[in-house]
């Protein structure tokens, strides 16, 4: 048997998923939930007390790795059959290691834990993560030094949570600790280094979330690195395509029952891995993930950047590029309106749409209860073009959903048109939302049952790179469409007109 393991080190958990690519099945699965299983370590907190700051204790991720494999072994997961391992990490988070780290990684003793051995390798006790937005000053400084090229060359304008700004803040606030840092890893390349027992490279998928990788040359940009922090270039691992075998499983892990010659492929970010796990690695197909925040991602060909600066460009793990846009007021807004209208989910997901026509007679409500990322609107609040408070529940619900979907359409137009939209996440149960997506985009909508798309995508990456399985066959078996909805062509012109109304409301909100 030749199985492949995908690992996903996310904000709240570490997941492992083993696939049998020949049979197209998942043959083992386990997770460590940080809050429940390892409450003694912090997953997202502010060391300084600044609410904009969010760090994690990197020892948490090490404890989770030992615990996950202990659990998988105890549950009888077929670890001995695994021939390839890939992984993904929460994007943008960084780990700071000292000059001893390389030697420690190379000589991990199976009789001791990862934490015991690797704690002395940390040059910084905490790791800033993607939830951190405390670096506006650093973003402004790097932008002033580099100008518009920062966005057009790295794929994103300076972003607070991106690693470059975080590194700059560390260099400014703790210069001695920065100087003692020999290697800066992303969460993904840190975990991959531990698994491999050596410092390993960063892949283009996750590396693009640092504001440091020049996506035109696919190398670290020396001028941007130097403007971020002096000597930074020397502290970064090499950047490589995701389809790279970066090492072999460290002997330390044989205690969990792994074989001796397991290939490790480059780890990537959780969003790039999800592109693979949702089967969206070809142009013309986009994924809308309806979660706490809604995200939109798709292959991007050829390389270009969002004129508005809202969408980010990352490396597509299968080659070329992908884009990702995050809409902060996703399920948070939907849940709030459901509570306010005091209806059940069946009414919210289905009945409200049966009782109202597509286009809602031109009535729209932008539900930006929290400051929105896409489009950038800092003042929270609901913006409606009708008497929202006194309207019927069904009118309010359609007004919110149509505004959300029109926003996704408007802010993805720079990427191109899509013939198929795959929908995941909790709210993909809503036929009202699914049909609205189909009608607004005039595209086929597919639902997929994949739960852990990042871990699955990582396992599929390993199966492709190490086992030479095609993405087409892996997607067909492991991420098939569970339902398909077609657009109603009659609604095309209705939404074309409503798009104009939406743009007027958005312009007023931004003014």
Strand partners of residue 322:
299, 314
For residue 173, the minimal CB distance to ligand XUL (Å) is: 22
Is-contact 166 98, C-beta < 8 A? no
Nearer to ligand XUL, 270 or 506 (CB): 270
Nearest-approach distance from CB 324 to ligand XUL, in angstroms: 6
Q: How far is the CB of 314 from ligand XUL (least distance, A)?
A: 8
Q: How far is the CB of 9 from ligand XUL (least distance, A)?
A: 9
Integer CA distances (angstroms), 481 to 51, 447, 485, in order: 41, 6, 11
What secondary structure letter does DSSP report for 423? E
Min separation Cβ 116 and ligand XUL, Å: 27
> Which CB sits closer to ligand XUL, 27 or 373?
373
Beta carbon nearer to ligand XUL, 6 or 28: 6
Residue 319 CB neighbours (<10 A)? 13
Please say which residue, 154 or 271, places its beta carbon nearer to ligand XUL: 271
CB of 92 to ligand XUL, least distance (A): 5
Nearest partner of 349 among 330, 328, 366, 334, judged by Cα: 334
Structure tokens at 425: 């996440």
Question: Which residues contact ligand XUL (rule: CB under 6 A)?
Answer: 10-11, 90-92, 130, 161, 209, 269-271, 312, 324
What is the spatial distance between Cα 322 and Cα 311, in angstroms, rounded to a whole number? Answer: 10
CB of 136 to ligand XUL, least distance (A): 16
Q: What's the CA dihedral at 464, 467, 470, 474 to 10 degrees?
A: -80
C-alpha 257/C-alpha 163 separation (Å) is 35
Helix axes 471-478, 453-465, angle to 10 degrees: 140
The DSSP code sequence of 429-448 is G-HHHHHHHHHHHTSEEEEE
Q: At closest approach, how far in Å is the CB of 63 from ligand XUL?
A: 19
**Contact assessment for residue 252 and residue 115, using Cβ atoms and an 8 Å cutoff:** no
Taking the complex as a whole, the smallest distance from the CB of residue 478 to ligand XUL amounts, in Å, to 21
**Closest approach of Cβ 7 to ligand XUL, in Å?**
14
Q: Of the two residues 38 and 187, which places its CB atom closer to ligand XUL in the complex?
A: 187
Separation of alpha carbons 313 and 304, rounded Å: 8
What DSSP designation does 304 have?
-
Q: How far, rounded to the nearest angstrom, does the alpha carbon of residue 369 sit from its chain's CA centroid?
A: 23
* Alpha carbons 487 and 491: distance in angstroms, whole number: 8
Helix (H) or strand (E) holding 137: helix 136-146
Q: How far is the CB of 239 from ligand XUL (least distance, A)?
A: 18
Q: What residues contact 116, with CB distance under 8 A and at least 6 apart?
A: none
Q: Where would I find the H helices in 187-293? A: 187-196, 204-207, 222-228, 270-277
User: Taking Cα atoms as reference points, which of 474, 460, 475 lies closest to residue 86?
Assistant: 460
Are 458 and 88 contacting, i.e. CB atoms less than 8 angstroms apart? yes
Q: Whose CA is closest to 224, among 238, 232, 216, 95?
A: 232
Handedness of CA 310, 326, 289, 355 (dihedral sign): negative
Instruction: Report residue 511 as tokens.
Output: 């003014």
Q: How far is CA 429 from the centre of its chain?
A: 21
Closest separation in Å from C-beta 13 to ligand XUL:
11
Residues 119 and 123: their CA atoms lie apart, in Å, by 9
């Amino acid at each position: 048997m030749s199985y492949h393991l995908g690992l996903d080190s996310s904000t709240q958990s570490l997941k492992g998923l083993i696939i049998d690519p020949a049979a197209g099945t998942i043959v083992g699965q386990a997770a460590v939930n940080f809050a429940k299983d390892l409450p003694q370590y912090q997953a997202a907190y502010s060391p300084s007390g600044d609410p904009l700051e969010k760090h994690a204790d990197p020892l948490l991720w090490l404890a989770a790795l030992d615990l996950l494999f202990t659990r998988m072994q105890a549950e009888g997961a077929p670890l001995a059959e695994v021939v390839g391992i890939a992984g993904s990490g929460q994007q943008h988070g960084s780990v700071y290691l000292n000059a001893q780290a390389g030697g420690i990684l190379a000589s991990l003793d199976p009789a001791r834990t990862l934490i015991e051995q690797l704690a002395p390798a940390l040059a910084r006790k905490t790791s800033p993560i993607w939830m951190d937005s405390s670096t506006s000053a650093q973003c402004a400084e790097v932008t002033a030094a580099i100008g518009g090229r920062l966005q057009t060359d790295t794929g994103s304008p300076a972003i607070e949570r991106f690693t470059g700004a975080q590194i700059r803040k560390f260099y400014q606030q703790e210069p001695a600790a920065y100087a003692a840092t020999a290697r800066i890893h992303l969460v993904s390349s840190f975990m991959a280094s531990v698994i491999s027992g050596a410092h390993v490279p960063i892949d283009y998928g996750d590396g693009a979330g640092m504001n440091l990788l020049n996506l035109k040359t696919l190398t670290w940009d020396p001028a941007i690195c130097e403007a971020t922090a002096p000597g930074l270039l020397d502290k970064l691992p090499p950047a490589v395509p995701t389809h790279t075998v970066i090492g072999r499983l460290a002997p330390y892990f044989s205690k969990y029952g792994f074989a001796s010659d397991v290939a490790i492929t480059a780890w990537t970010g959780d969003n790039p891995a999800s592109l693979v796990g949702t089967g969206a690695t070809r142009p013309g197909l986009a994924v809308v993930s309806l979660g706490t925040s809604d995200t939109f991602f798709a292959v991007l060909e050829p390389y270009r950047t969002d004129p508005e600066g809202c969408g980010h460009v990352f490396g597509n793990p299968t080659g070329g590029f992908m884009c990702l846009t995050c809409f902060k007021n996703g399920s948070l807004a939907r849940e709030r309106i459901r509570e306010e209208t005091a209806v059940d989910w069946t009414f919210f997901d289905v009945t409200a749409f049966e009782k109202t026509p597509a286009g809602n007679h031109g009535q729209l409500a932008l539900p930006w209860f929290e400051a929105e990322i896409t489009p950038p609107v800092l003042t929270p609040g609901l913006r409606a073009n009708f008497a929202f408070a006194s309207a019927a529940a069904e009118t309010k619900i359609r007004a919110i959903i149509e505004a959300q979907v029109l926003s996704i359409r408007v802010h993805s137009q720079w990427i191109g048109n899509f013939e198929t939209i795959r929908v995941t996440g909790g709210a993909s149960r809503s036929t009202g939302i699914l049909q609205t997506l189909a009608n607004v985009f005039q595209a086929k909508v597919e639902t997929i049952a994949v739960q852990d798309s990042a871990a699955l995508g990582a396992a599929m990456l390993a199966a492709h790179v190490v086992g030479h399985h095609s993405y087409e066959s892996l997607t067909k078996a492991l991420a098939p469409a569970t339902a398909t909805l077609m657009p109603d062509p009659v609604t095309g012109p209705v939404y074309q007109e409503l798009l104009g109304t939406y743009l007027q409301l958005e312009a007023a909100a931004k003014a």
